[in-house]
A and B are shown apart, each in its own frame.
Chain A
Amino acid sequence: MSSVTDETELESGELPKASPTIEIRNLHRFFGTLRAVDNVSFSACAGQVMGFIGPNGAGKTTTMRILATLDLPTAGDALVCGQSVIDEPDQVRRVLGFMPDSFGRYPNMNILEYLDFFARAYGFRGAKRRDSVERVLDFTELGPLAGKQIDTLSKGMSQRLCLGRTLVHDPDVLILDEPAAGLDPRARVELRELIHLMATQMQKTVLISSHILTELGEICDSVVIIEAGEVLASGSIEDLQKGVAGGGVGEGSEARQVDSEIVITVLEGAEDLERWLVQQPFVESISIAGGRAIVSFSGDDDAQHELLKALVNSGARVVSFEAKTQTLEDTFMRITRGELQ
């Protein structure tokens, strides 16, 4: 079970088994009449990679900035490793690494000096400082480029360096805002591997926002979908794809089952297959294209098994029977309403 919790779970005192390292409670942030973040609640545990997705202007960056102590909520609170971003921002900064969507470059500085500066800024001295910089250079594989000026780095290398900067003080929680934006496919794969390593080997909690949903689908254990400042759905990716994950607040918080799609390919007799399928339980709709039948099916895995068995017994010349799983992109399109604010 995912450790992502919705508001209902938090309010009823049903906390996840492992204590959460990120906990957002009824977070609100208003700018004048604009509700940028409106009653957002979720949590994440150590070793978890959580995707934070939503359209532009949904409130992702605002929520992340509040978590990074760069902004204060209008109401509610956010806890990082049990420390409130409102009451103990200094403590939060020690355990949190924030990677903003834009890479802040300093001129006339090489990679080593850049990391060294941030190690000093986090209070590391002497051998400890040098060790922390070396550790980051090793992890990000930037060691051979240590003497290279940062304003001559490629986008991919810059993002690596930026990720390295967030790791220099070995934080428990990482907030990554659009880390894969503008990266080529190779750099995206490399970044994905680094994030995976951070979660699995270093047991860090990673909250990551991105528009590249296929990437997120491969990196994340769970996602929170936000639109117009409100959480529309949260849960493990599998649950969301099946449509059984909890919603955010208010409407949409009830669990719901979505129809799955089954694609059946037959050698011949597609029309006969259609007539036969209509009579079967859980079949909601059928569309025939060539030798393929696309079936909207509301049954569970057992029901699918029964359908396949019956289909083979009926004598149909079946070539393939494939239950099509929803991608994160499909799920996102289904859940979001395309609202602008």
Chain B
Amino acid sequence: MSGQAEVVAATEAGVARVPWSERIDLWADRWSDRFNPVVVREIRQEFQGVRFGITLMLSLAAAWLASVFGVITLYDRIRQPEIGDDLFGFFFAVLAFPLCLVVPFGLFRSMTSEFVGTTWELLVVTPMGAAKIVRGKVATAMVQAAIYMALLAPFLCFTWLLKGIGVMHIVLCLTLLIIGCFSLCHLALFCGSLIRKAAWQGFGLIVLMTGCLFVWGFLCGVVTNADKTGLEAWIGGGICIGIGLLYMIVIASATAVASLTPTYPIYNARAVLQAAQSQGPGGSAGAAASAKPTIESTHDHEETR
């Protein structure tokens, strides 16, 4: 056997000996290079932490309880066509809870802990840039939302099997939920970006929780009364709310990016110093002294954080 063939055989034998779990790890490690580093880090943290697991288990338990409770209460009407629609309301409320409250709350905590724990300084001295960091944070939240949705999807399919609700209705409601979750994540981003001290976290949390509970209630109301709402109301309301949300998303993103960018004052006296040095009489030392900026000239500067 030639040397090259021996190497190939040895490599194949080595690959075959690697356990499946390690091979999955290697594959995940290779693929993770394609993702935003913030997403990789935060997903790892979430999987190692307790919050994500507990919320997921509670959501599954709530969905299971909702199906048992729903089937028991609606048992008499089990063969009637509208039962799926009623059960869908339960499941939607269960699914909307983590997406409208837990996921935005996690993003808020993630942002504030960067500032309170001063880890944001470690991030912004890397070449990643503030925009990439913000995109990573939002993407992490959306990945979590997708996991919640994927795990609760069988329950939604269950309602479709019970009849009384169409696929389009389910898709429309889920789309609304995703839009609501995405918007609330930006509200969390906005609140988190403005908070630099631990003492203000409570205030930011109240604002965020108010927004989250309102959206959760609003979405649950819209979904359960969807068939009573006319097409004009859907279109009009959709356009108005959509424009408002778009504004909020843009403002929240810009605020978050600005908060993660070191303060750069508009005016820098370096050019003045250089000009003064080049025009100074005789020695450059004299020019430098004459060009020394005065405190008055810098009063309008932004102060550092």
Contacts and interface: CB of A to CB of B under 8 A. Distances in A.
Interface string A69-83: 111111111000000
A86 B121 contact: no
A32 interface: yes
B264 interface: yes
Interface string A200-223: 000000000000000000000000
Given A75-B269, A106-B119, A108-B49, A35 B41 contact: no
Interface stretch (A23-31, A257-265, A267-275, A280-288): A23-31
Contacts of B303: 31-32
Interface stretch (B81-89, B125-133, B185-193): B125-133
Q: Chain B binding site: helix, strand, loop or mixed by DSSP?
A: loop
Given A26-B273, A30-B295, A11 B284 contact: yes
B293 interface: yes
Interface in B19-60: 30, 33, 37, 40-41, 44-46, 48-49
B127 A122 contact: yes
B272 interface: yes
Given A93-B127, A105-B117, A72 B269 contact: no
Interface string A41-78: 00000000000000000000010010011111111110
A102 B120 CA distance: 12
B301 interface: yes
Given A35-B295, A71-B304, A74-B268, A113 B44 contact: yes
B45 A120 contact: no
B299 interface: yes
Nearest to A128: B33
B298 A86 contact: no
A145 interface: no
Contacts of B30: 126
A43 B75 CA distance: 82
A1 interface: no
A108 B304 contact: no
Given A72-B263, A86-B270, A108 B127 contact: no
B265 interface: yes
Q: Which of A39, A73, A75 has the most chain B CB within a 10 Å cutoff?
A: A75
B288 interface: yes
Interface residues of A, number: 49
A22 B231 CA distance: 66
A100 B124 CA distance: 12
A308 B68 CA distance: 101
Interface string A86-127: 100010011010101010111111000100011011110110
A292 interface: no
Given A30-B301, A120-B37, A74 B118 contact: no
Q: Chain A binding site: helix, strand, loop or mixed by DSSP?
A: mixed
A13 B37 CA distance: 44
A279 interface: no
Interface string B239-277: 000000000000000000000001111001110110000
A68 B37 CA distance: 21
Interface residues of B, number: 44
Contact of B126 (A33, A121, A126): A121
B122 interface: yes
Given A26-B288, A28-B269, A107-B49, A75 B299 contact: no
B301 A70 contact: no
B270 A105 contact: no
B148 to A, nearest CB: 19
A291 B129 CA distance: 68
B71 interface: no
B292 interface: yes
A102 B118 CA distance: 8
A65 B262 CA distance: 10
Contacts of A35: 295
Contacts of B264: 72
Contacts of A72: 262-265, 268
Interface in A5-30: 7-8, 11-12, 26, 28, 30
Given A72-B264, A100-B121, A8 B285 contact: yes
Contacts of A100: 118, 121-122
Nearest to B262: A70
18 contacts: A11-B283, A28-B292, A31-B303, A32-B299, A39-B288, A70-B121, A70-B125, A73-B270, A75-B272, A96-B125, A100-B118, A104-B122, A117-B41, A120-B40, A121-B126, A122-B126, A122-B127, A123-B127
Interface of A: 7-8, 11-12, 26, 28, 30-33, 35, 39, 62, 65, 68-77, 86, 90, 93-94, 96, 98, 100, 102, 104-109, 113, 117-118, 120-123, 125-126, 129, 165
Which 5 A-B residue pairings sit nearest by Cβ, starting from the closest? Answer: A75-B269, A104-B119, A120-B37, A121-B126, A108-B48
Given A26-B273, A106-B41, A109-B41, 17 more contacts: A7-B285, A70-B124, A70-B262, A71-B263, A73-B268, A74-B265, A74-B269, A75-B270, A76-B273, A104-B121, A107-B45, A108-B48, A109-B44, A109-B45, A109-B48, A117-B37, A117-B40
